[in-house]
A and B are shown apart, each in its own frame.
Chain A
């Protein structure tokens, strides 16, 4: 049997649907909570309504917000879709709507990019492809005929693989001298938490940032393998709980720990659930050896392309830049999770050489606080903002505005230093990627 045949056989082998159904519920309920929290915190206004200018993603400039009422409707719709997904009601439609609406919301504003929001979009897309509503759902009450005890391995495998990608490349991202030798940014972050009751005293010990850094990288690189293995899975899930609860307590990283705790449930088999709760099997039975051809070639090709991107995107920065933390060229979509503490300060100068005039543009005058903060140390956003200023000044009657930036950035405990060549006229760059050629190399 060839390797391809073995893989195909494995992917089509029938297995219990329980992990997939539990994953669907966990993910759906968490997303429902996430969207309600988004509304409650006033983030619809902060992210989509208040900004007069949006930092859009490359090739997605056409994605823009609608009016306040429509944006509320979309977010509420997204929350309802997540809830329907969780309870398994109109599953396919709910999942498609959730994926489209959530991804649309994320594409509007780049300064609100979060690694785990990106993960949500990916997982939602994968959920569209699988029959996760065939157990523990309202849909099987509506249509008892769709009830299934088994699904093909691939329907669970793709989620396990996606989560493994997050962990593993999250570990690869930490293979840097800052992380391993300087224990940064852990030194900064833990120092800010030494006032915590009980745990604070522990964090004050000099060796702790190193323990956290090295512990973190070992966790990220090893946990996927430990979760895949049946023997090590119990200890692996305990580690998942301890690690993410600790990150929840120590760092203000919102839903990320809960995402990973909930989503990692996909690794737990039906047999393990039964052992855990001392349940005996009733009704549904399955033979794990049974093989059914359920992975259509079209889906197979699509998933192959999907995971090809998943394996290559996190590595692209090795080709693009020698220091992804400083330049951020290839930083997004590559699971660079909790790897830096970065602060910046920018002032733009607009020149009209023809009329010998000059303006200063302070970002705080036109951007929201989060936009200004994020833009101050991300070159592509600095270029985008310069484009925006160019349009504003052209509208004001300045034919050929030249735009320069005075940008100072501090990374992982270093002193602030010049970030972008101050002599660069940002309007002379037609393409965002060109701005990376003008980043001043990091000192120290």
Chain B
């Protein structure tokens, strides 16, 4: 074969490839096939549902609750009574509940901003917090802003509001204890900083929304995959850190109540429940009675993975039943019936595997081409 023939052959090959491609492209909408168009349409519906009915209302509610918390702790500072302390504790719990729903949505620009750390990093560094209170620096919101994430946010407020063995002891830390006034100042400053962070979070999401709801591609950068990965991350955190460490998995089997996330306020069960509720909402897309319920379950059914969708729904039901089986607090259950907590952890681990391995495979969230092949 001579050069002329080689060139002709190359030209014919390229022409053939181009013709076949153009033939298929001509049957498409906006450069994608009808099937891909439908897939992206469903994906967009899911992401808009997540943002409009999940993320945005939670962000608004979080701001409202943090503002309410600031008013409550200011009232407590001005009139440090048991009643006002309890009001502050209750409002802090309301903030915690909203946050535990919003905690799931740590992805994209929001994850890159590390704002979730600023809002709730646990455990808090209590020595640092006490150091600030016992120091001389002026305590206000800007002072808190300049400090590290382990001395601020929801967890730091929990430390101050639930520091005593009982409410009376906690109250005394704000009234008769050394630097009681500075402690109250620090509490107020923390609540003010939390409002700032809540507002920043909302703005970050407003800015990120166009990207989030338009990244419809199947690859790793697609929003649906990021959402799936966020689900994996949160469920893994619950299994390993929120339950595993308290169950004594790192120390040979001795339970560690103080390793529970909210052991001071005894709200650890509520935290996990709220996490799971939001995980399930993202999966089913059921945020409101009237809203479009477009979730991962619909997507799985659409790609033919009905059994995976059913298994994950059953797994959520199993986790919920294990959560509901704990009648008291997680703190007391851990001491009195650690087997029940272990069952809960195992149920969550099963859920994690289903999301991380099966669901992610089915929707293409883990598609990276086996690493033996390239980079």
Contact = CB atoms under 8 A, between A and B. Distances in A.
A191 B217 CA distance: 11
Given A276-B3, A338-B369, A410-B361, A197 B31 contact: yes
Given A115-B373, A191-B218, A252-B374, A410 B358 contact: yes
Among B3, B249, B360, B374, find the residue whose CB has the most chain A CB atoms closer than 10 A: B374
B358 A415 contact: yes
Contacts of B360: 343
A234 B9 contact: yes
20 contacts: A115-B373, A191-B218, A191-B303, A201-B27, A201-B36, A234-B5, A238-B6, A252-B369, A253-B375, A276-B3, A331-B372, A332-B372, A341-B370, A343-B357, A347-B349, A360-B249, A364-B236, A373-B371, A408-B357, A415-B307
Contact of B31 (A189, A200, A416): A200
Contact of A194 (B1, B39, B373): B39
Contacts of A233: 1
Interface string B206-234: 00000000001111000000000000000
Interface of A: 111, 113-116, 185, 188-189, 191-195, 197-202, 204-205, 231, 233-235, 238, 242, 251-256, 275-276, 278, 331-332, 336-345, 347, 352, 355-360, 362, 364-365, 370, 373-374, 408-410, 413, 415-416
List the 7 shortest-distance A-B pairs measured between CB atoms, nearest first.
A253-B374, A357-B252, A254-B375, A360-B249, A204-B33, A201-B33, A234-B6
Contacts of A189: 367, 369
Interface residues of B, number: 57
A193 B36 CA distance: 10
Given A201-B27, A276-B6, A341 B367 contact: yes
A202 B1 contact: no
Interface stretch (B16-24, B76-84, B135-143, B146-154): B16-24
B93 interface: no
B169 interface: no
Contact of B9 (A198, A238, A359, A416): A238
Given A192-B219, A242-B13, A255-B375, 14 more contacts: A115-B373, A185-B370, A191-B303, A201-B33, A251-B373, A253-B373, A256-B374, A338-B373, A341-B366, A341-B367, A343-B357, A345-B352, A359-B249, A415-B358
B373 A238 contact: no
B208 to A, nearest CB: 20
Contact of A343 (B10, B216, B366): B366
Interface in B292-326: 303, 307-308
B367 A192 contact: yes
Contacts of A234: 1, 5-6, 9
B356 interface: yes
Given A202-B24, A251-B369, A275 B217 contact: no
Contacts of A254: 374-375
B252 A251 contact: no
A374 B357 contact: no
Nearest to B2: A275
B368 interface: yes
Contact of B17 (A242, A276, A337, A360): A242
